[in-house]
Structure 1
C-alpha cells in the first residue's frame, strides 16, 4: 500500500502541470516564482558562513520558525485541499495507523517540502562553517523538514474536519485579521532595531525562547551549539518531543477522518450564509453577524470608519506647527484613534432603523445585544491600533514607551466601548436613514444628541485620565511609569467595558418599548 500511495503522490505532483492551458501557465509561473524565492533565500543563507554565531542563531531560528508556522497556518487561512485526505481511502478499509504512516511519508513529496529541503542543505553548509559536525546538521535539517511536513498535514486535516463546512471568505478574513494583529507589530519591532554590526540582544533572546518551542527546536539544534547561549540538549529533547507529539496528532486526526466522511451537500447549503456561518450559533453570535454585515456594506458605517483615521492623522499638524518635535507629535494620533473607535457605537441602535424589531420581537437578551454590537468595532479597531501603535513608537524611537502607548489606547478604546453600550440605549438620536448619504443628518429636537456624544467622549477621557498621566510621564522620560500605564490601562478599560455592557444590557431590557417607539418615529 505504501509503495502504491507514493507512486500516486508522484503522479499527482506531475499532473499538477497538465490540463488546460491557463492552469498549466499558472502552475509554471508559481513554480518559477517559488524557485526564485528559494534561490534568493539560499544565497542569503550562504552568506551567513562568515557571520557571527548570534546572527546565525537569529536568522535560522526565527526564519525557520516562520516557515514552520506557515505550513500550519496557510491551510487554515486559504483552505488548501489535501490530495492525500485519509477519507479518500475509506473504501479500501485501511488500518488507521498504517494509513497515517503512509500518507505522512507521501506528504514529504511536495514542492514546498522540497524547497525547505534545499534551504536545509544551505543551512548544513552554514552550520558546518561554524564548527557543527555535518551529520548533526543533516539530522537537524531532516527533523525540520519532517516537522514542516507534519504541520502541513495537521493544518489541512484540521481545516477539512472543522473548518470545511464553515469555510468562507469571512472566515479567511478573520484569520487574516489575526495574522495582522500578531505579525505586523512584530515585524515593525524587528525592522526598527538598529544592528550596527552586531545582533540586537532582543533578537537573540527571542530566538533563544523560540528555540525551545516546536516551531524552532529542530532549526536550533546546530545553531545553539556554537553560541553557547543555551544547552543544545534541551533543543534536542524539545525537537524529539515535538516530532512525537505531531506524529501522534496526525495519527489521531487520520483515525478521526476515517469515521467522518465528507458532506459536500451540507457545505454548499451553508456556503451563502456569510458571517452567520462563521459566528457562533447563539443570540450574541447572530447579533454580531448581522452587525458585521451592516458595518461592511452600509456606507453610513463605512464613512465613520474612514473618518476616524483621517481625523487622527490631521491631529499631527497643530503640534508640528506649534513646534512640538516630530518624535512626540507622532504619538498624538494614537489616543485619538482609540478614543473615537470606542465612541463609534454610541448610537448604534439608531442605525438599525425599523430592523430593531428583530431583536425585540425575538426576545434577544440585553447582554447578547450589547456584546454582539461591539464585535465589528473590535474587529476593525484592534487591527488598526495593532499596526498604528508600533509604527508610531518606531518613529518615536524609544520602545520603552510602547507599554504606555498600549495602556493608554486600551483604556480609551475599551472604556469608550463600555460607555457607548450605555449611551446607545439611554440616549439614541436620529441619524441618516438606510440608503441616505452618511453626511445628510436629519433635524433633531432637543440637545440629547450633543449630550450623548459629549458624555461618551468626556467620560472615556475622565476614567482614563490616570493612565494618560502615567503615559505622559513615560513619554517625557520617566519610563518607570510605562508598566503602570500598561496594566492600569488594561484594568480600567476592561472594568469600564464590563460595567458598561452590564448596565447597557439592563437598560435595554427595561426600555424595549421606548426603543421600539424611537425606531418607528425616526
Structure 2
C-alpha cells in the first residue's frame, strides 16, 4: 500500500508539468516563484552565521512562527485541495490505519516538503556555526518541518470536512478579515520599533513568548543551546505538538473516509449567501439575515461610515485649543468603540414589518439578541483591531496598548449589552426600508433610549477609564489592570444585557409587532 501511494505521489508531481500549455505555464511560474522565495530564505538564514546569537534566535523564531502560521492559514483561506485526499483511496478498500500510515510518508514527496527540508537544513547549518551540536540543530529543523507539514495536512483535512461544502465568498471574506486583524496591527507594531543597530527589546520579548508555543518551540531548541540553556522544555513542547497534530490529522482522516457528503444543488447553495456560512440555528439564521441587510442597506452603511468620522471629528477641537498630539491620538478610538456599541440600540426598528418572522417562528429572545449583534461585531472588531495599534503608534508609548484595548473593549461591549436591552424595551421610529439613510420620520421620543445607552456605557466603564488614566499619568503597570478589567466588565454587561433583552423581547412581542406596523 505504501509503495503504491508513493508511486502515485511521484506521478502527481510529474503530471503537474503535463496538460494544457496554460496550466503548465501557471505551474512552472508558481514553482519558479516558490524556488526564488526558498533561495532567499535560505540565503538570509545562512547569513545569520555572522550575526550574534541573540539576533539569530530572534529572527529564526519569529520567521519560523510566521511560516508555520502560513501553513495553517493558507489552506483555509485559499481553499487548497489535498493532492493525497484520503477519500480518493476509498476505492482501493484499504483499512483506515494502513491508509493513514501510507499517506503520511507520501506527503513528504511534495514541493512544500522539499522547501521545508531545505530551509531546515540551512537553519541547522547556521546554528552549527554558533557551536550548536549538529544533532540538536537537525532535531529542531526536523521538528519544524514536521510541524508545518502536519499543520497544512490538518488544515486541508478540516477544510475538506467542514468548509469545502460551504465555500463561498462570504466565508473567504471572513478569513481575510481575520488575517487583516493580525497582520495590520503587527505591521504597525514593527514599523514603530526603534532599530538603532540592534534587535528591539519588544521583538526579543515576542520571540521569547513564541518559543514556548507550538509555532516556535522547534526552532527555539538550537537557540536555547547556543545561549547556554537547557532545551528540554522546548523539545517536549515541539514533540507534543508533532504528536498532537499527527493524532488530529489521523482523526480527521478517519472522519473523511467514513463521512458521506449530503448531495445538494449547486445553484441553491450559491444562492444561500450568509445562510451558507452561519450555523443552522435560530441565532445563525438571524445573524445571516442581519448580515445581509447590513451589507446591502444604505441605512446601515451610513451608520457604519459615520462612526469613524465622528471619532476623528472629536479630535479637531482638541487640536485647535492646543492639546498635544500624543494625547489627542488617544481620543478618537474610544469614541469609535462607544458609538459602535451604541449603533445597535434601535436595530429592531430598522426591521419594519420583517419583525414578524422572528415573532411568528417563536425564536428565543436570546437568539434574536445574539443574532442581531453579528453584523456589529463583524464590522467593528476589525476596525478597532486596526485603529487601536495605530493610535498607540501615534501616541508613542506601546506600554499603553493594553489600557487602550481594555477601554475600547469595555465601551464597545457595554454598549452592545445595553443596546440589546434598549432595542427591545424602547424602540423608536427609524427610516423605513427603501428610504434614504438621512430621511428620518417625525417622532416624539427616542432621545431617552439613545442617551441611556451612551451614558450607561460610559458609567459602567468608569473603573476602566480610571485605570487607563492611572497608566497614562502614573505607572504603566495599571495598563494590564485596565485590559483585564475592561474585558471582564464588558463581557459581564454584554451577557447580562443579552439575557435581559431576550426576556424583554419575548414579553413585549405583541407590542413590538404593533410598533413595527405603525411606525
Q: Normalising by the residue count of structure 1, what TM-score does the alignment of the two structures yield? A: 0.93
| Residue aligning to 1:325 | 324
Would you say the 8 A contact 1:403–1:486 is kept in 2? yes
Would you say the 8 A contact 1:75–1:155 is kept in 2? yes
Aligned residue for 2:292, secondary structure, equals: helix
> In the alignment, is residue 512 of structure 1 matched against residue 509 of structure 2?
yes
Q: How far apart, CA to CA, are the structure 2 residues paired with 1:27 and 1:300?
A: 46
Deviations 1:343-397 (A, max 9, x none): 1111111111111110111112221111111111112111211111112112211
Pair 1:504–1:212, CA change in 2 (3 A)? closer
Would you say the 8 A contact 1:108–1:146 is kept in 2? no
CA RMSD of aligned residues (A): 2.2
Would you say the 8 A contact 1:403–1:483 is kept in 2? yes
Deviations 1:441-500 (A, max 9, x none): 23x131x13332222222222222232233223223442432332233223322322232
Aligned residue for 2:446, secondary structure, equals: helix
Deviations 1:260-295 (A, max 9, x none): 244454777544322223222221221111111111
| Residue aligning to 1:198 | 198
> In the alignment, is residue 282 of structure 1 matched against residue 246 of structure 2?
no
| Residue aligning to 1:142 | 142
| Residue aligning to 1:304 | 303
| Residue aligning to 2:189 | 189
Q: How far apart, CA to CA, are the structure 2 residues paired with 1:174 and 1:299?
A: 21
| Residue aligning to 1:67 | 67
> How many corresponding residue pairs?
519
Would you say the 8 A contact 1:214–1:242 is kept in 2? yes
Q: How far apart, CA to CA, are the structure 2 residues paired with 1:493 and 1:428?
A: 23
Aligned residue for 2:285, secondary structure, equals: helix
Q: How far apart, CA to CA, are the structure 1 residues paired with 2:374 and 2:440?
A: 26
Would you say the 8 A contact 1:393–1:402 is kept in 2? yes
> In the alignment, is residue 253 of structure 1 matched against residue 289 of structure 2?
no
Deviations 1:27-66 (A, max 9, x none): 2332333233223333322321111111111111121122
Would you say the 8 A contact 1:48–1:126 is kept in 2? yes
Q: How far apart, CA to CA, are the structure 2 residues paired with 1:160 and 1:326?
A: 50
Pair 1:234–1:492, CA change in 2 (3 A)? closer
Pair 1:31–1:306, CA change in 2 (3 A)? farther
Would you say the 8 A contact 2:414–2:491 is kept in 1? yes
Q: How far apart, CA to CA, are the structure 1 residues paired with 2:203 and 2:213?
A: 16
Moved more, 504-513 or 21-30: 21-30
| Residue aligning to 2:480 | 483
Q: How far apart, CA to CA, are the structure 1 residues paired with 2:213 and 2:424?
A: 48
Would you say the 8 A contact 1:170–1:278 is kept in 2? yes
Would you say the 8 A contact 2:429–2:443 is kept in 1? no
Aligned residue for 2:345, secondary structure, equals: helix
Q: How far apart, CA to CA, are the structure 1 residues paired with 2:264 and 2:419?
A: 42
Deviations 1:70-97 (A, max 9, x none): 2222222332111211111111111322
| Residue aligning to 1:351 | 350
Unmatched 5+ residue regions in structure 2?
A: none
Pair 1:305–1:22, CA change in 2 (3 A)? farther
| Residue aligning to 1:449 | 446
